[in-house]
Structure 1
Amino acid sequence: MTQARIQERLDQRDLFRRGNKDGLGLQAVAGADFGDDGAVGKTRYPRNQGAHDVLPPLETNSFSFGCQVGIPPTREASMTAIATAQQQQEGTDLLSRLRFSILSLELVPGEPISERSLEAQFKMSRTPIREALFHLVRDGLVIREGRGYAVAPFDMEEIEEVFAFRDIVEPAAVRLAARLATDAETDAIRRSITLGHQEFTPERWLDLGLDFHVRCAALSRNRCLTAAMQDVTLRTVRARWLSFASEEGRATTHREHSEILDLICAKDETGAACAVLAHSAAVRQDVRKAINSARRFMGRRGVVGE
């Protein structure tokens, strides 16, 4: 081996050692100027200068350090997080709009629903539409029909079962409510039902229809009773809307709700339980009558059961 070649190998070893000493390892060698034969070129690091003085410093946010704690998110990551939050909000809004369309009978029971038609109607992608339909199927407002979907028809047998279950759950809930509710809680419910009656809109009524019985059940401080009443009211609110469209029906409901609340405020457990049973019986009769009257415009697909 020639003297020049030996010197080149010694210089290469020296370069590697100084790179390791500075904590850069092979990067010092990788940044050097290699000739065609693989030997280090004529440009040398000065003896009093480390590799870190010549090579550019490692970026602390580079791939090899990407898992370090405390590195601020990049602009791209922040924009992605914002876009994700917006998509989640749009999905929530879509679910609310579809639920209202079904509960208010804008979408008729038995009416077919396709993902493609919803995409065109709401100008949204397929993913949030599928998520909304998943929630509506879970709530019993939409059913799978072949490879598509349809608005759930009125199931007369299910309605009877729901009211029978309600007659077990709600008296127990209002008995506890009469025992445990505070004046502030009942006053808040009274303001809500009064506002809903005085300033009627379909949206407010749907909120109130789902809200009054659930809020009264929540006064029981029993989460299972509250969840049961939420399910019951959700399953009957569409049918209730048919009988509530008239001013007379709204006035009757407001009066009966107010009477139930008065009995809860008076700590009359038995009276409150009897009042919700009487209210439930009247609602059941109104619902059956309203559905039978609406059969002609809903068609055969809109009602199943009896």
Structure 2
Amino acid sequence: MATGVYDRIREAIVRGEFAPGDALGEVALARQFGTSRTPVREALHRLEIEAIVEPGPRGVRVRASSPEEILDIYEVRITLESAAAKAAATRATELDQIRLRAAQDAMIATGDDPADRAQVNRVFHEAIWNASHSPTLVDLLHRLNVHLIRYPTTTLTYGDRWDEVLREHQDLLDAIEQRDATAAQSIAERHMTGAREVRLRMYADG
């Protein structure tokens, strides 16, 4: 039951039903989600561990984002994504490459819907993670993604970012298929640095 309540509260935060700084009271949440206070308390504790909520004057509140936090998250992500791409260029199997090509084709075929773009982009990146055949990298990248759920607005609809992403993904796919680990690492680093810069501009735009 606690897992279900956790998922529902987290999804509400992602959708913006609870804004940054909003207090999350156990009694109100239990009433809203039709449960007792115990699973709500457990869910809030888990969300606090994941840095999605933080202690407030009345229980906990939704954490606000900051440019410093964006920089911190993306610095780590740049390192991990680059390492995964480098490993994928060395270790990817033929099946891995087929999955990557299919993920890229799905991205090319995707329309303008932000949620659809975010989903196919995630599938492509997860295919690279898995192609690294590094359980540690995959685990760390999944854990890092938890911190990104508080930024529900995708960078993929900002300006011409989508076209840029498609080009960079194709370059990355080519490098992996050519077993060029140095190029794959460099392209992934440039790709994620670009994502960081777009995220910062989106933050500045409000």
TM-score range, shorter chain: 0.7 to 0.9
The yes-or-no answer on 1:267 pairing with 2:155 is no
The answer (yes or no) to whether the contact 1:174–1:216 under 8 Å persists in 2 is yes
Distance 1:113 1:145 in 2: 9
- Given residue 272 of structure 1, which amino acid in structure 2 is its aligned partner? A
Q: 1:251: how far off? A: 4.3
Q: What percentage of residue pairs aligned between the two structures are identical?
A: 26
| Structure in which a larger fraction of residues adopt helix | 2
TM-score (norm 2): 0.80
The change in CA–CA distance for 1:144 and 1:131 in structure 2 (over 3 A counts) is same
Deviations 1:162-203 (CA, angstroms, capped at 9, x unpaired): 222233332222111111111212322443454466267665
Structure 1 portions without partners, runs of 5+ = 1-86, 295-306
Distance 1:168 1:231 in 2: 14
Deviations 1:41-88 (CA, angstroms, capped at 9, x unpaired): xxxxxxxxxxxxxxxxxxxxxxxxxxxxxxxxxxxxxxxxxxxxxx3x
TM-score (norm 1): 0.57
The change in CA–CA distance for 1:291 and 1:177 in structure 2 (over 3 A counts) is same
The yes-or-no answer on 1:128 pairing with 2:39 is yes
The change in CA–CA distance for 1:109 and 1:232 in structure 2 (over 3 A counts) is same
Which structure has the greater CA radius of gyration?
1
Q: Which residue of 2 aligns with 1:8?
A: none
The yes-or-no answer on 1:112 pairing with 2:29 is no
Q: Which residue of 2 aligns with 1:102?
A: 13
Larger CA deviation: 93-102 vs 130-139: 93-102
Deviations 1:213-271 (CA, angstroms, capped at 9, x unpaired): 34422322222222222233332354372533458444443443343233222322111
The change in CA–CA distance for 1:145 and 1:190 in structure 2 (over 3 A counts) is farther
Distance 1:97 1:137 in 2: 15
The change in CA–CA distance for 1:266 and 1:164 in structure 2 (over 3 A counts) is same
Distance 1:187 1:105 in 2: 37
Taking the TM superposition and a 5 Å limit, the aligned residue runs for 1:217-232 are 217-232=129-144
The change in CA–CA distance for 1:99 and 1:195 in structure 2 (over 3 A counts) is farther
Q: 1:142: how far off? A: 1.5
Q: Which has the higher contact order (CA 8 A, sep 6+)?
A: 2
- Given residue 188 of structure 2, which amino acid in structure 1 is its aligned partner? V
Structure 2 portions without partners, runs of 5+ = none
Alignment size in residue pairs? 205
For the aligned residue pairs, the C-alpha RMSD in angstroms reads: 2.9
